[in-house]
């Protein structure tokens, strides 16, 4: 009987992958490869490339231990093809295989590559997610707006997580009100669990340093988990030591503490080393055991079965053109500060430096610092999207694009967000200690030394007034503007124009 190839992509490192379940270990051949197209379609952070390559190599070894015939194409092997389809064709010729079994990729780019491949590809659904495409389409059908909160409640009912019969545990669906505390004076958690690289990981680090050393980001030190067992250790460490206070401070930011009480398991979820339900069940068990309060556990679970599943549903529902949307017509180039260029804004400097060092920043740093500034400054959302896709270890297009194109940049025109997520410097000051060490004054609204967020906030609202003036969630903002005297309004807009002019001239802001 002729064998088939079983494609396992770098973010499909799950023992129960649908393609593996469909295959026959006695005759089918697993294909995995570190190909140039995937490593270079954006200038990925070196840590991200190293994480994926190292985890792939270790997953391939685990499959071999289970008895699979695995043909692995290493990046530094000259025989390895430059693309996934090219590698499939190479292995088909090598083995005589007459077809491919694949689990659906998480990006339209790869879905289309397999669809038009010159070899038959049997694509299986990616059932590692809790909501199938059909599930999400059924939920979305006929709705005027696709708000995550209602999807999340259905997911709670479906999974039974934090449910008491038909009612939510604690009689509340959402504890978000309790999860917005500003930065604490002291963090009692030492941070996520990191792992010392073994010889195999060190080999990958040397390879990435040689081939991708010019990419934005620090490769070393490297401490990510690269196996499922390590990822499970990292999850256990978070649940035991950080989850109890995660909810309280999940939106807080501190200059001298990068991680606060965050889990840093999204890279492992998105690689497939962990599954969403097992992660949520671990958190729910901590609540049942009295080891973590419900506000923390609910907030954590909502990010996974609510937000993570929801944005994947949006990505596939909206289709391949989603990443090219630009509803607000913004066109400014991404400032050099995003690539480590000099800036006088302490909040942006801290978020970018952490991104460069760790290939990580938490959701509020991404949304309300780097994302907020890009939106206020009128940056082209395609450039913002490419930056986020490149620089974060957990970034894959299915999850990154809706977060950036939709939630962060409002470039989808309101599919995800009911209003743009913009703020002045006061929000950042309330949720962080960044402003204390800034060259700008967050309390100064205009004039020399005023925080750029303060003037750009109003500039954004006024240049998009026709679009947002009737938005019920933004009416108060425009009413406040209209109550300002004319001279102050002119000063605010002139100061914002000056900031934007400096950006356009490549000057330090």
Q: Please give the model's pTM, rounded to 2 decimal places.
A: 0.97
Mean pLDDT of 357-382: 98
Over range 175-202, report the average pLDDT: 94
2: exposed, middle or buried (Cβ count in 10 Å: 0-12, 13-18, 19+)? exposed
pLDDT in tens, 41-80: 999 999 999 999 999 999 999 999 999 999 999 999 999 9
pLDDT, mean over the chain = 97
Rounded distance between C-alpha atoms, residue 431 and residue 453, angstroms = 15
* C-alpha–C-alpha distance, residues 268 and 282, integer Å: 15
Q: How many Cα neighbours within 13 Å face the side chain of 279?
A: 30
pLDDT at 2: 85
Domains of the chain: 5-124 (3.40.50.620), 133-192+242-318 (1.25.40.80), 336-504 (1.10.579.10)
The pLDDT of 444-467, averaged and rounded, is: 97
Instruction: Look at residue 1 and tell me whether its pLDDT is greater than 80.
Output: no
Task: State the burial class of residue 441 (Cβ atoms within 10 Å of its Cβ: 0-12, 13-18, 19+).
Answer: middle
């Amino acid at each position: 009987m002729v064998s088939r190839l079983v494609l396992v992509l770098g973010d499909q490192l799950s023992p129960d992958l649908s393609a593996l379940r469909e295959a026959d270990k006695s005759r089918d051949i697993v294909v995995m490869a570190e190909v140039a197209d995937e490593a270079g379609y954006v200038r990925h952070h070196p840590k991200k490339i190293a994480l994926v390559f190292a985890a792939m190599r270790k997953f391939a070894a685990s499959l071999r231990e289970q008895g699979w015939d695995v043909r692995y194409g290493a990046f530094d092997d000259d025989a390895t093809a430059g693309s996934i389809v090219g590698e499939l064709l190479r292995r088909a010729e090598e083995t005589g295989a007459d077809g491919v079994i694949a689990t659906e990729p998480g990006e339209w780019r790869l879905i289309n590559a397999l669809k038009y491949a010159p070899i038959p590809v049997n694509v299986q659904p990616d059932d590692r997610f809790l909501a199938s495409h059909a599930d999400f389409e059924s939920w979305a059908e006929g709705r005027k707006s696709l708000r995550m909160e209602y999807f999340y409640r259905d997911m709670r009912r479906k999974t039974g997580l934090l449910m008491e019969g038909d009612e939510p545990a604690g009689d509340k669906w959402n504890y978000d009100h309790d999860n917005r505390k500003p930065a604490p004076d002291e963090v009692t958690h030492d941070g996520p669990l990191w792992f010392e690289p073994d010889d195999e990981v060190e080999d990958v680090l040397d390879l990435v340093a040689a081939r991708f050393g010019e990419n934005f980001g620090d490769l070393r030190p490297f401490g990510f988990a690269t196996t499922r067992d390590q990822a499970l250790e990292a999850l256990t460490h978070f649940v035991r030591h950080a989850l109890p206070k995660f909810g309280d401070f999940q939106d807080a930011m501190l200059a001298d503490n990068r991680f606060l009480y965050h889990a840093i398991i999204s890279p492992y979820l998105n690689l497939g080393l962990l599954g969403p339900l097992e992660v949520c069940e671990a958190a729910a068990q901590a609540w049942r055991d009295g080891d973590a309060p419900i506000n923390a556990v609910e907030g954590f679970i909502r990010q996974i079965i609510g937000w993570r599943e929801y944005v994947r549903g949006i990505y596939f529902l909206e289709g391949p053109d989603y990443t090219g949307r630009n509803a607000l017509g913004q066109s400014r180039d991404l400032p050099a500060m995003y690539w480590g260029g000099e800036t006088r804004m302490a909040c942006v400097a801290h978020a970018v430096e952490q991104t460069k060092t760790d290939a990580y920043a938490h959701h509020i740093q991404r949304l309300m610092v780097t994302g907020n500034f890009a939106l206020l400054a009128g940056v082209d959302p395609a450039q913002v999207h490419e930056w986020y896709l490149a620089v974060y270890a957990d970034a894959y297009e299915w999850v990154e694009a809706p977060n950036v194109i939709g939630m962060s940049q409002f470039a989808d025109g309101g599919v995800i967000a009911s209003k743009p997520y913009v703020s002045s410097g006061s929000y950042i000051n309330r949720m962080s200690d960044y402003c204390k060490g800034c060259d700008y004054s967050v309390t100064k609204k205009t004039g020399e030394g005023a925080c750029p967020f303060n003037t750009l906030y109003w500039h954004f609202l006024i240049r998009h007034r026709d679009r947002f003036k009737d938005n019920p969630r933004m009416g108060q903002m425009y009413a406040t503007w209209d109550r300002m005297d004319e001279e102050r309004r002119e000063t605010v807009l002139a100061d914002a124009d000056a900031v934007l002019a400096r950006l356009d001239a490549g000057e330090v802001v």
